[in-house]
Amino acid sequence: DAEITQSPRHKITETGRQVTLACHQTWNHNNMFWYRQDLGHGLRLIHYSYGVHDTNKGEVSDGYSVSRSNTEDLPLTLESAASSQTSVYFCASSESEGSGTDTQYFGPGTRLTVL
Amino acid sequence: GQNIDQPTEMTATEGAIVQINCTYQTSGFNGLFWYQQHAGEAPTFLSYNVLDGLEEKGRFSSFLSRSKGYSYLLLKELQMKDSASYLCAVRDGDYKLSFGAGTTVTVRA
């Protein structure tokens, strides 16, 4: 069955370290998204991609970067982790139908703690 | 910018009906989604509206009024497993979504 996976599921790191969170989907979806979820804020978009070599900034992109070298993967990198980046991170993907629901399917999430 | 509002919490009794309202002010509109999220889990898709009116899917229904910037999710015959957060999200143009903060629904026996 097609799926979307994230790794690691839990990560503890220290302030200033570089961290990369992996996202892999087997639906062959063109669109991929990274969100963070914090109490009281809901899901906020960090970065997104509509195809290979395409990346775009979301509303909370400072301190994060992504790259899209193939259809299946969109890794999220925190260049220098800060305590404010402690959060739950969700990856999602969707098809580019141009009509219909274009439903986003979410991965299981990564809980990141920055000490 | 995007402004999507929904109540923070709601409580209801098993077997009852609950209506979760969502109002939005966005720069564009190309569909409204409802997602369910159980604690510690990923959001899962519930419903989609792009035209005015009611969409029914079993015990769940979703309504949209584009002129009023308003939607609601109706949960009927509540079950304990319906205790979760419900997220309203608006697609404003291309494929990305803007989410409200979510409504936590607690179902009591």
Question: Which tokens go with B61?
Answer: 């229904």
Query: Residue B56: which residues within 8 A CB-CB, separation 6 or more?
Result: none
Residue B45 predicted with pLDDT over 90: yes
pLDDT > 70 fraction of chain B, expressed in percent and rounded: 99
| Partner A contacted by B31 (CB < 8 A) | yes
Q: Which residue has the tokens 């309202």?
A: B21
| Partner A contacted by B33 (CB < 8 A) | yes
**pLDDT given for residue A101 in this prediction:** 65
A38: DSSP letter: E
Residue B1 predicted with pLDDT over 80: no
Q: Report the distance separating Cα A63 and Cα A80, nearest Å.
A: 7
**pLDDT given for residue A38 in this prediction:** 95
Nearest to B99 by CA among A45, A23, A30, A66: A45
A45 CA: distance to closest CA in chain B (Å): 8
Q: Would you call A104 and B99 a contact, using CB atoms and an 8 Å cutoff?
A: no
A109 to chain B: nearest residue by CA?
Answer: B42
| Partner A contacted by B41 (CB < 8 A) | yes
Specify which residues A56 forms β-bridges with: A48
Which amino acid is located at A32 in the chain? M
B11: DSSP letter: E
B15 CA: distance to closest CA in chain A (Å): 28
The whole-chain average pLDDT of chain B stands at 95
What value does the mean pLDDT take over residues B12-17?
Answer: 97
What value does the mean pLDDT take over residues B35-56?
Answer: 95
Residue B73 predicted with pLDDT over 80: yes
Q: Tell me which chain A residues have a C-beta less than 8 angstroms from the C-beta of B57.
A: none
Secondary-structure percent of chain A, ordered helix, strand, coil, rounded to 5: 5, 50, 45
Q: Tell me which chain A residues have a C-beta less than 8 angstroms from the C-beta of B41.
A: 108-109
What value does the mean pLDDT take over residues B12-39?
Answer: 95
A27: DSSP letter: S
What value does the mean pLDDT take over residues B40-56?
Answer: 95
**pLDDT given for residue A40 in this prediction:** 80
Q: Report the distance separating Cα A7 and Cα B6, nearest Å.
A: 31
Q: For A56-111, how does the pLDDT look when each residue is reduced to its tens digit (9 = 90+)?
A: 999 999 999 999 999 999 999 999 999 999 999 999 999 877 555 678 999 999 99
Q: For A14-70, how does the pLDDT look when each residue is reduced to its tens digit (9 = 90+)?
A: 999 999 999 999 999 999 999 999 988 889 999 999 999 999 999 999 999 999 999
DSSP B53-67: EEEEETTEEEEEETT
**pLDDT given for residue A108 in this prediction:** 97
Side by side, the strands of the sheet bearing A76-78 are A4-7, A19-25, A76-78, A64-66
In order of A87, A101, B26, B96, B102, the CA distances from B34 in angstroms are 22, 11, 16, 14, 10
Return residues 50-89 of B near A (CB < 8 Å).
87, 89
Does residue B22 contact residue B4 with C-beta atoms inside 8 Å? yes
